A and B are shown apart, each in its own frame.
Chain A
């Protein structure tokens, strides 16, 4: 099974934060050898450029980011009962990087992930995937784009209980009217170590195996970005590490971008960058911190 070690990172591609709060310089995006996505070719980054040469689209800081958001606010409810989950978050995720989003409960981590993944609507602010602004898209168009651009892994797996492993993995493709080839499905399942389990149902699998099915489902369409919301939260440590290695392998091997919400400083150790949220704003943006540093920052927030 293709599990890499937690710190077995690629040497090239030192990513840096794009558009962090109070940082008005233009970040140097991570050079990503091996990442040959269409966006990096189509949109060469130009420091200080107000707009790209053709002038068609916005080219702010982080234009080359796989995904980014600007001044994101999300409020639930109205009036006195309103909850401000996000209060102005600006962040960019460079292609081919692995970011961990951390913070105490209720800090807005999951809301940020949902908004950037197109699964929730910000109250204000914009979300971009590459050069497409998705926060204004209609629900139908957004869902269609999400199928090809974004994969999502949940803490509670969220597999369709009545479907087999194979049917679960092919579901997004079938919804798109382009069911993945059998060979692609078999390959995706082999990559997550579940070859030969095509006909099982989720109820017949362990938690770790179900999460691997969810990862195969997220990866089979070869999305640019994979979002994971506490993917190891319901798993024991060993199984959790296997899941993290799978996500890491996707970043190292296929140049994929991964954004993961986690509570666990050890899980965050698999990431290139750790962003800490508190009360709906980014309070820390750390480049390859040690687990000890992460724990210390989190405990300072009372998380």
Chain B
């Protein structure tokens, strides 16, 4: 089995690139924050207003792990989708679902082993630089140092492996849930909407996010800020699970008048839109993740600053220190890295999987120019939907945070900052879709159509 897992990775390394990057960042982040917590053991105790190494390392590590789990599930899901045919084939030669999951777990093990050394190095380096910056901003006591111990690195690999194992259960479900014949009949990944637990779990996540928002409103501001991030992630899980259903519902409603006016062509357009709905919603999720995390961070800072301007001299002055804003920015950068990997990986995988579709369009007479302009239009649509969804999620969680502040101000956000987020998301989407699209539309179409793989 280990040999089989290794063979799969060796023959299609591109499939695992996204997963490898996500796991590398998970190992790096856990090593980094683990090192900070280890540093607290050998460093002088924090004084007065300093938050202390354990608090900073713990809070950062917690959120980084949650986002890492989200991104590892996402990238592993695509790695499995791209191996769908091989895994379905294994099921037909009588591999049990447990064996297929075991194969996926071994692939995760191999990838974690491969990226770990680099992750340890990057994490340790990052921890030294981060600690120096913390000392310079007087957030931790002077004289703090990182001890020489393998524990944070080991924790980085072990916890990343744990995340991957957890992700394997979720990601292998589409190919394990159905019978071998049905699995083989589906070209890639199959119809995820058909999974009976998808909608209930999605509704549960939506309800959970709502409950979290209500709970946040009763917390002190610093706890509420952390809670808003958690609620954002829970809402995004709901978006990921309910996305196809929601998109199909919108398309169905829009399709009704269309069918009434033009029964035949309206029906065709409706079918196309429905087919597109599942793909659209998979593409939207990472963009919404990126947008909402970035918006939550910026808006938390801006809202607090606004509130403190109105109430000068209250305890909020300490919360809004320049150092605190810097800390939030560091956290934002880490999360944007995860979100960026997820975005580029998802869009590249979705576009690459359409190679066969592009080739077929070429054979029936589409020019490459037409294909590229079609991709541009899709890119714009996906960016718009993703940014709006992410903004809506961020709006909900930041509102529940803002009521915890004295005077319950409305959430605010610097328009320039929001503009930068939108542009950044659009650039990443274009990178993922257009670069892959240019590659996927090149080469002789007849070979692609004739080949077994799309």
Contacts and interface: CB of A to CB of B under 8 A. Distances in A.
Interaction A to B? yes
Interface of A: 114, 119-121, 139-140, 143-144, 146-147, 152, 154, 156, 158, 160-163, 171-172, 175-176, 217
B8 A120 contact: no
B44 interface: no
A146 B94 CA distance: 6
A146 B179 CA distance: 13
A147 B89 contact: no
B450 interface: no
Interface in B19-47: none
Contacts of B89: 158, 160
B83 to A, nearest CB: 10
A58 B345 CA distance: 54
Q: In the complex, which of the residues B91, B94, B180 has the most CB atoms of chain A within 10 Å of its own CB atom? A: B94
Contacts of B93: 152, 171-172, 175, 217
Contact of A158 (B10, B11, B92, B182): B92
A52 B93 CA distance: 33
Contact of B96 (A143, A152, A160): A143
Given A160-B89, A162-B8, A162-B11, A119 B180 contact: yes
B16 to A, nearest CB: 14
B101 to A, nearest CB: 11
A175 B99 contact: yes
Interface string B1-21: 000000110110000000000
B70 to A, nearest CB: 28
A217 B89 CA distance: 13
A172 B90 CA distance: 8
B181 interface: yes
A220 to B, nearest CB: 11
B98 interface: yes
Contacts of A160: 86, 89-90
Nearest to B176: A139
Q: How many B residues touch the partner, as a band?
A: 20 to 34
A119 B181 contact: yes
B184 interface: yes
Contacts of A114: 179, 181
A114 B92 CA distance: 10
B97 interface: yes
B1 to A, nearest CB: 8
20 contacts: A119-B92, A119-B180, A119-B181, A139-B96, A139-B97, A140-B96, A143-B91, A143-B94, A143-B97, A144-B94, A144-B96, A146-B94, A152-B92, A154-B92, A158-B89, A158-B184, A160-B90, A162-B8, A175-B95, A176-B94
Contact of A140 (B92, B98, B181): B98
Q: In the complex, which of the residues B97, B181, B452 has the most CB atoms of chain A within 10 Å of its own CB atom? A: B181
Contacts of B11: 161-162
Nearest to B177: A139
Contacts of A139: 96-97, 179
Given A119-B179, A119-B181, A158-B184, A175 B98 contact: no
A282 B295 CA distance: 62
A123 to B, nearest CB: 12
Main secondary structure of the interface of B (DSSP, over half): helix
Q: In the complex, which of the residues B11, B93, B97 has the most CB atoms of chain A within 10 Å of its own CB atom? A: B93
Contact of A120 (B7, B10, B179, B452): B179
Nearest to A111: B181
Q: In the complex, which of the residues A140, A156, A175 has the most CB atoms of chain B within 10 Å of its own CB atom? A: A175
The 4 residue pairs across chains A and B that have the minimum distance between CB atoms: A120-B181, A114-B181, A119-B181, A162-B11
A1 B97 CA distance: 38
Contact of A121 (B95, B99, B179, B184): B179
A236 to B, nearest CB: 17
B355 to A, nearest CB: 17
Contacts of B95: 143, 175
A119 B11 CA distance: 27
Nearest to A217: B93
Interface in B168-214: 179-182, 184
A119 B95 CA distance: 11
B84 to A, nearest CB: 13
Contacts of A163: 7
Contacts of B179: 114, 119-121, 139
Contacts of A119: 92, 179-181, 184
B159 to A, nearest CB: 30
A156 B450 CA distance: 13
A242 B8 CA distance: 33
Contacts of B452: 156
A153 B11 CA distance: 25
Nearest to B88: A158
A166 to B, nearest CB: 13
Interface in B54-102: 86, 89-99
A300 B309 CA distance: 87
B94 A120 contact: no
B351 to A, nearest CB: 23
B98 A147 contact: no
A44 to B, nearest CB: 30
Contacts of B94: 143-144, 146-147, 172, 175-176
B306 to A, nearest CB: 52
Contacts of A140: 96-98
A121 B8 CA distance: 29
Given A154-B92, A172-B94, A175-B90, 4 more contacts: A139-B96, A144-B94, A171-B90, A172-B93
Nearest to A145: B94
Interface string B99-111: 1000000000000
Contacts of A172: 93-94
A146 B93 CA distance: 8
A120 B86 contact: no
A119 to B, nearest CB: 4
Q: In the complex, which of the residues B7, B8, B99, B179 has the most CB atoms of chain A within 10 Å of its own CB atom? A: B179
B369 to A, nearest CB: 34
A121 B91 CA distance: 14
Nearest to B179: A120
Contacts of A158: 89, 92, 184
Nearest to B99: A175
A105 to B, nearest CB: 15
Contacts of A120: 179-182
Interface in B235-254: none
Nearest to A158: B89
A171 B89 CA distance: 11
Contacts of B86: 160-162
Contacts of B92: 119, 152, 154, 158
Interface in B92-135: 92-99
